[in-house]
Structure 1
């Protein structure tokens, strides 16, 4: 497991950018953390690392899935409003091969891939965060503090 401690939203985005630069289509990121933890800020960084326009990144709570074009496409999925049975209807397994997929509220996805990279974002202060990254091929193996 790799752990990052960030002091600001910009630093959280920087960790996302670093992770995004290492990813390839087909990889899945499972983003966990409470409301307001910084999951969407992290995804903005992922987008930048993948060569996508990070300015367009917003939470897909109501659209469920947003896609961004870049060096590698990014699919940003938010399962917050869904029951696990509804998640099955999204056919996420069929979408994942064409892009990097970042999934917020992944505990609602009963069939999340075993090789996914699990990222937990924990608020430790008003703007500070602890980011833990585990599993999956391509997960970074060093800490940034």
Structure 2
């Protein structure tokens, strides 16, 4: 993550329960068309984060499965959640194929695991959540929000409790 980022926030070292709780709160800040890139190694909390996010949008976390083999799962919550896995995508052409017209219509929220592999497609208009293994039960979590959306997230998440980088 770049240093001196004006819209980056250190969320701390979180347990699975705390990560889901943050994701539930985070889901209330989202607007139609938001793209969330989840970046971190295998087992770092990406799918766990999505479980908390869909719970915050009114769905059961049990509907969430890793989209590794399906490439995309769709959850019909209070906002439609398009849950993608970019690990197996071979580039921009695959992004267009998988998403078809959804992303152009800006209907729903797009959550992309391994999205760092295709983030150049989205330029600067993405929200990125970075996950790092701290130990077996804890993950270090950081958030980067596009500058033009940072005020929405500051208000919604009460960023006063988070350390800005």
The answer to whether TM tops 0.5 is yes
Distance in 2 (alpha carbons) for counterparts of 1:35 and 1:134: 20
- Corresponding residue for residue 4 of structure 2: none
In the TM superposition, what are the counterparts of 1:17-96 in structure 2 within 5 Å? 17-90=24-97, 92=99, 94-96=101-103
Distance in 1 (alpha carbons) for counterparts of 2:62 and 2:70: 17
Pairwise CA RMSD: 2.1
Structure-1-length-normalised TM-score: 0.88
1:104 and 2:113 correspond: yes
Deviates more, 1:58-67 or 1:4-13: 4-13
Runs of 5+ unmatched residues, structure 1: none
**How many aligned residue pairs are there?**
145
Larger of the two Rg values belongs to structure: 2
Q: Report the alpha carbon displacement of residue 86 of structure 1 after superposing the two structures with TM.
A: 4.7
Greater helix fraction, Structure 1 or Structure 2:
2
Distance in 2 (alpha carbons) for counterparts of 1:17 and 1:62: 25
Distance in 2 (alpha carbons) for counterparts of 1:106 and 1:90: 16
